[in-house]
Chains A and B, each alone.
Chain A
Amino acid sequence: MDTLFKKPKKQIFAIFSFLFLSLIFSTNNAFAADGEKIFKQNCAVCHSLGSNKITGPGLAGVFTRVPSEQWMHSWIKNNDKMIKSGDAYAVQISKFDASQMTIFESTLSDDDITAVMKFIKEYKPKVEGPVVADTGNTGTPKEEGVNPLAILIGVIAFLIVIVAVLRGVRHSLKNLQNEKMGLPEEEAIGPWTELKQWISSHKRTTTVIILIITGGLLTSAWYGLKGIGVYADPDQKMEYHPEQPIAFSHKIHAGDNAINCQYCHSGVERSKTAGIPSVNVCMNCHKGISKGKLPGGTEEIAKIYAAAGWDPEKGEYNKPQSPIKWVKVHNLQDFVFFSHQQHVKVGKQECATCHGDVKTMTTVAQVKPLTMGWCIDCHKKTEVPGMKDNPYYESLHKKLAEKYKGQPITVDKMGGIDCVRCHY
């Protein structure tokens, strides 16, 4: 399934080599790269490099619009001053939007501003499409609306038709031949009878075929049972990875862009649920990032816009909103109370302990069984890292240390496997 980015190492290598080569061969680029960094940190939230409006106007061709580069420089530095000084163009564009542009006088030096301006000026939109050397991507975007099973059935049906036609042709040819040779006409036998004849004459082959079919059926039954949770091997990955309404890739966000899990799952230290980010959280970044690097990415981002009611052309929320119906991957039964804040904030557990290495997952899969046995197993093995320094546990820890001399104080020793910890 996870065909996108099968080779992360290769990708990283590719990026590094690209950057390295760029560094060597273009001194000018170093300057621009600096500008790019500054742009991303300070400007990208409000300005796109294209022509679309985010909060501020798009910057494509900006230097053809502004009076002069010097004007641009002072504008970036302190637009307020420019407006107040009565500069005609400044006053004119101050009416662009009610929100005022940030004053960068104290944060950006003159050199920085120059670098940014240079970056903007020299920016050329990248060519769309898969760039193999750049990303190491070997996958193709999934086609929508065509079920692979349907294709398979179609192919089989097609083959059957061909076989039937060929049989007819063969029969006619044989008869023709027989006729020529003066032999009596071959009796037209039905396909079923022929099959039976074939089977009786090829018993060994038939056995093998039957064995293969039976094996296939059994295997699929096995996976089917596993799919409904009849059997769960804690050591084996469950790999429940439903298709999501938006092909959101944790690999791109948490992996490549190294966005902290808590930026989106902000409830994890405050609530029992980590929370799925609301669309407005997506929009924090995607207001500016409207183009996906990967094929199909732009379309997926458009789905966020559709949910948020955002019009990327006009740069405003003017369409009806509709929530995104994500498919829940990690399901706990209703009679289990699980608290993320207890595990992450107090118990100082890594997200990956239960969710696996999400940073490498394009489609999130459930990698741990999430069964009670699995929970208890962990509670029996895990010492709580946060316990020693937390005054809440002080007296308990002292008493337990005395009671279990030398043994590690695991969660279960603190009552962590009491029924009411999770069931109430």
Chain B
Amino acid sequence: MATKKYWKGLEELNNNPEFVQKANSEFAEQLPVEKFLEDKSLENDGTNRRDFLKFLGFSVTAASLAACETPVNKAIPYVVKPEEITPGVANWYASTYFDGNDYASIIVKTREGRPIKIEGNDLSGITKGGTNARVQASVLSLYDSSRLSAPMANGNLTTWATADKEIGNKLAAIAAKGGAIRILSSTIISPSTKAVIAEFAAKYPTTKLVTYDAVSFSGMVKANAQSFGQEVIPSYNFDKAEIIVSIGADFLANWLSPIETAGQYAKTRKVGKNKKSMSRHYQFESNLSLTGANADYREPVKVSEHGKVAVNLYNAVAKIVGGSSLSSSALACDNTIAKAAKDLADNKGKSLVVSGSNDMYVQLVVNGINQMLDNYGKTIDIENPNYTRQGDDAAFADLVAEMASGKVDALITYNTNPVYTAPAALKFADAYNKVGLRISLADRADETASMAHYICPDHNYLESWNDFNPKKAHYSLSQPTISPLFSTRQAQETLLKWSGNNSDYHSYIQKNWMERVFPMQGKHMIFNDFWNHSLHDGAIEVGKGGDMEMNGMADSVKAAPLAVKAEKKKEEPKEEAKPVAKVDLGEAAAKIAAVKGASEPSFELALYEKVGIGNGNQANNPWLQELPDPITKITWDNYVTMSPLDMEGKYDLMERQDREASVVNVTVNGTTVKLPVVPQPGQARGTIGIAVGYGRDKAGNLSMRTGSVIGQNAYPFIQLMNGSMMYGALDAKVESANETVEMAGTQVHHTLMGRDIVKETVLTEYQKDAKAGNADEMLVTHSGKVKMSEVDLWDSFDRPGHKWGMTVDLNSCIGCGSCVVSCTAENNVAVVGKTQVMKTREMHWLRIDRYYTTKWPNEGKKAKEKAHEEGVGAIDMYLDMENPDALNPKVVFQPMLCQHCNHAPCENVCPVLATNHSSDGLNQMTYNRCVGTRYCANNCPYKVRRFNWFNYNANPDFTFNPTQDDLGRMVLNPDVVVRSRGVMEKCSMCVQRIQGGKLEAKKAERKLKDGEIKTACQQSCPTNAIIFGDLNDEESAVAVLRKEDERNFYVLEEVGTKPTLSYLTKVRNCEEAEFHNEHEAVKEEKAGA
């Protein structure tokens, strides 16, 4: 019995009646029921609680009953079906992509009248079926809802009639008082557009055209004018070059004509049974570019040293071939220069030196080298100039000065965005505001257009007619593949209208071609035939040597009144291009020697273009933003790249899968930009690199949808030097901003970690033994060592029909990412955005792994031996391996996609059989069966499976995904399912294309031809690195390669997955010693530094 008593208070202890009564009632005080009922306002309320519950119950039941009905789908046919359209069948149209920067002859796939995919046009003599990432992504830019839906006047939407009337009146007034009208445009290679502008200039005689390219080649044009008396940029024949020396020219990704060059370059790099030689490529550069990553020899040099490398190379070549030398100073990389010079001299007429510098003097020296090497007329074709870069920096600077002084009364900007791209020093925006009438022909209210009085939006190129003359004798056409989505009007038609010519541009081009292009060719007798053939083929080549050239550069770059110039041109007989002129290079050498580099702690800045965003034209394109940079693998950002050696102790080195990067302020001449700094192995010491094309706050709605402007604008850093723009700066201050920010990189490991995922060798070893670097995987069994390919735990499968196979030539792959975007477009791959990429949730079915070499031997066993010798523990060894050689690593690219293993580890862990094997060797993924356990992804040794963590097609966090935009959805491939949340997906080897190709053959009752089916990645590859075909067809290219090419290997063959994909060993054309021992040298240098 308890004897103690517990009480809460005295009342309880005393136990008085009042307390007892209170304790028995539930509430301490009376509930205010009466007061509540007295509230008359409640009586007026018609709904009481019970009613509410009744309604709730009813509506829930009704809603669920209503949902239980078979959905009624409507099928709405055309009223009048266009003859050429069969629903469900794609139509293809030849067209041309040119945005003032990239040129590509393309074919456009349309379904039910909407373009859904861009493919390369094999009939083009220039791009030869290749595309790059930007061209591939351009189809999405068509469906950009940020495009203007109608013309704008002073910030308000208006009609074309009103705009035309107002502008017409204003232009007439300006013309009447003799005021200056200027048209500012990026390079125009359309002969008809030039004719349109000439017509405009005839109506308004005070008109001048100024050509300005965001990334200009005007230094090169000037140099050629000095060397050869011709203001041209020659065509380069990389395919004829045995030795290629590039001084800062990123010719595989951006420089001049990258798609064409990549194809030519790859031709020289391919080796095989019948070709055991390849070109040798030297690269001198500051940033590690895509081109540098592919070089055999690469030397990091400072920005200030580019010219000096050219001079020293000139001297070294002159020493061998006999010639006077220029004044020079010694450089750290003189050994490599000497080596390059020797190779060059040994291959006179079969070599090529190019420079990415926009400095006339550097280009003069480079011209001198090429001339000494007798390369003109061989690897450099100055008689067939390339017209795609006509920008004139001096003319642009003059124009800005003219504008600033208020002398320009009207400025029409076409396909250019100088407020965004012009160097800070020019103060373009201020000068622009002083122009009386500002008209923009941009398709959106971009940085420049938003400051204009009138925006008269141009069609997207896929809605337009146009013609192109990218090179002498090469012509191509673009044709509309869709009716205009908005009330836009072709810029040329707009200009024609203002000139008082009401003809449509289509007939205008036709007329122009009839008069000028048609007579140049002799193939067709009737113009209609010629026109139809040209339109069908997309690109044509007319007879060479005709003097009917209508697109000479001279009449545009000089900003002379066009009408006058055009007349004048007819009188002048065209000069023969004779690369003979001798220019005194002494002055050039002196100017180059005078360039002073930065001294510590300042850095030298090198601006560059990324393969995705390029010059920023398509910054609003989510596919390009999500495309990882091939070198840093970072998406959705630009940043400062810096040598890890320069960063040590100051900034976060982002080691061990760290995503946090230090933020720095970069200041050049008073312009400051705040960006994260990323360690970049191979970056020249004392230099930093920043990509242009980012930080576009008015590119469109992408920044709004992602929550912030993507990256920072680096264009203001452009310096003016020797009369042209210098894409860099020699005195950049870098200061820590004491912040960190997370970067969204897709590849956190940098090296191969001593594994044999990529196999490589050197040419000399390959020539001796074709199997060099590709030793068979051996497995120890009870009967001794056996080739891995001969061991199998399971029975092999019967593949009676087709057996699809793909082989990727690592020697041809340049890592450009064209295939990644192509795959995205073909397979409706979702864009996931920066935050999800940070969580490794990017959806790309095809990625390109980039590996640096490490100071550790590539073969795992040797690495362990070495670690043992040096007394390094296993953990430290692996951590060390993760860090590439900071100074100058070798780089290898490996496209990684589903390997379609015959014994696929993913298949046998799937609890619902959502992934299994097809009878023709495809690892098939059935989305509607997948329940999302993700076991398969965990069990995949290649890490190629992608899981839909969210419903990217409806989740409001992913509004930037094209599928969430009514317009963006139009880009979807209707033959491929759009996956939803909770579903695993991966490369299907473009099974829709396989099925389509098979069906064509079946319908035609014939055998399937090799090469008839091309996967999206294969089609878009500018270097033909991907070969796809039927392994059961013994004559197919892929089967022949597997049989004959000793370089063939399977990734992770030792785990026994029996992949369907194979790779060909990468061969480097450098010396064995360098290949094997470079690591030691690096170590020493590092110690010395």
Contacts and interface: CB of A to CB of B under 8 A. Distances in A.
Interface string B47-90: 00000000000000000000011111111111111000011110
Interface string B884-920: 0000000000000000000000000000000010111
Given A392-B1001, A392-B1002, A424-B977, A415 B79 contact: no
A269 to B, nearest CB: 8
A339 B988 contact: no
Given A346-B1002, A396-B800, A325 B70 contact: no
Nearest to B799: A415
B801 interface: yes
Contacts of B800: 396, 399-400, 403, 414
B5 interface: no
A325 B74 contact: yes
Q: How large is the interface on A (under 10, 10 to 19, 20 to 34, 35 or more residues)?
A: 35 or more
B89 A270 contact: yes
A216 interface: no
A276 B919 contact: no
A414 B998 CA distance: 13
Interface stretch (A7-15, A112-120, A326-334): A326-334
Given A279-B79, A307-B79, A323-B76, 15 more contacts: A266-B86, A270-B89, A271-B89, A278-B77, A280-B79, A280-B81, A323-B79, A326-B76, A333-B928, A396-B801, A403-B798, A415-B920, A418-B922, A419-B929, A423-B977
Contacts of A328: 72-75
Interface stretch (B381-389, B573-581, B1005-1013): B1005-1013
Contacts, number: 157
A322 B995 CA distance: 35
A220 to B, nearest CB: 12
B1003 interface: yes
Interface of A: 224, 227-229, 240, 242, 266-267, 269-273, 275-281, 307-309, 321-328, 331, 333-335, 337, 339, 341-342, 345-346, 389-394, 396, 399-400, 403, 414-415, 418-421, 423-424
A393 B800 CA distance: 11
B991 A424 contact: yes
A321 B999 CA distance: 36
Contact of A392 (B69, B918, B992, B1005): B1005
20 contacts: A228-B69, A267-B87, A270-B86, A276-B77, A278-B80, A279-B78, A279-B79, A280-B81, A321-B79, A325-B75, A331-B71, A333-B928, A346-B999, A400-B800, A418-B918, A418-B919, A419-B925, A420-B924, A424-B924, A424-B977
Interface string B317-344: 0000000000000000000000000000
Given A415-B919, A419-B926, A424-B992, A224 B79 contact: no
A129 to B, nearest CB: 32
Contacts of B79: 278-280, 307-309, 321-323
Given A335-B927, A424-B976, A240 B70 contact: yes
B1039 to A, nearest CB: 14
B540 to A, nearest CB: 30
A271 B999 contact: no
A327 B80 contact: no
A226 B396 CA distance: 74
B975 interface: yes
A327 B977 contact: no
Contacts of A322: 79
The residue in B74, B80, B920, B999 that gathers the most chain A C-beta atoms within 10 A of its C-beta is B80
Contacts of A321: 79-80
B918 A273 contact: no
A324 to B, nearest CB: 7
The residue in B916, B920, B927, B995 that gathers the most chain A C-beta atoms within 10 A of its C-beta is B995
A301 B77 CA distance: 17
A248 B815 CA distance: 58
B928 A423 contact: yes
Interface residues of B, number: 48
A423 B985 CA distance: 12
A242 B71 CA distance: 11
A323 B78 CA distance: 6
B344 to A, nearest CB: 51
B968 to A, nearest CB: 18
Nearest to A277: B77
Contact of B1005 (A278, A325, A390): A390
Nearest to A417: B919
Contacts of A394: 1007
A391 B999 contact: no
A271 B453 CA distance: 49
B1008 A392 contact: yes
A389 B1006 CA distance: 10
A415 B801 contact: yes
B1006 to A, nearest CB: 6
A390 B1004 CA distance: 9
B1007 A392 contact: yes
B1007 A271 contact: no
Given A267-B87, A275-B87, A420 B74 contact: no
A333 B980 CA distance: 14
Contacts of A337: 975, 992, 995
Contacts of A273: 87-88
B828 to A, nearest CB: 11
A326 B1003 CA distance: 30
Contacts of B798: 403
Contacts of A390: 1002, 1005
A414 B802 CA distance: 10
Contacts of A334: 977
Contacts of B916: 419
B436 to A, nearest CB: 45
A335 B977 contact: yes
B995 A421 contact: yes
A339 B71 CA distance: 22
A418 B88 contact: no
Contacts of A391: 1005-1007
Contacts of A421: 918, 995
Given A328-B75, A419-B926, A280 B80 contact: yes
Nearest to A331: B73
B919 A275 contact: no
A413 to B, nearest CB: 9
B75 A326 contact: yes
A228 B79 CA distance: 31
The residue in A324, A389, A418 that gathers the most chain B C-beta atoms within 10 A of its C-beta is A418
Nearest to B71: A331
Contacts of A339: 995, 999
Nearest to B914: A419
Contacts of B920: 415, 418
Contacts of B977: 334-335, 423-424
Given A224-B68, A271-B87, A394-B1007, A419 B918 contact: yes
B1002 A342 contact: yes
Contacts of A399: 800
Given A337-B975, A419-B926, A271 B81 contact: no
Interface in B786-804: 798, 800-801
The residue in A273, A307, A327, A392 that gathers the most chain B C-beta atoms within 10 A of its C-beta is A392
Contact of A279 (B80, B86, B1008): B80
Contacts of A309: 79
Nearest to B918: A418
A276 B74 CA distance: 11
B116 to A, nearest CB: 15
Closest 7 CB pairs of A and B: A415-B919, A271-B88, A278-B81, A418-B918, A278-B78, A328-B73, A420-B924
A228 to B, nearest CB: 5
A270 B86 CA distance: 8
A196 to B, nearest CB: 25
A392 B1002 CA distance: 6
A261 to B, nearest CB: 16
A327 B87 CA distance: 17
A280 B78 CA distance: 8
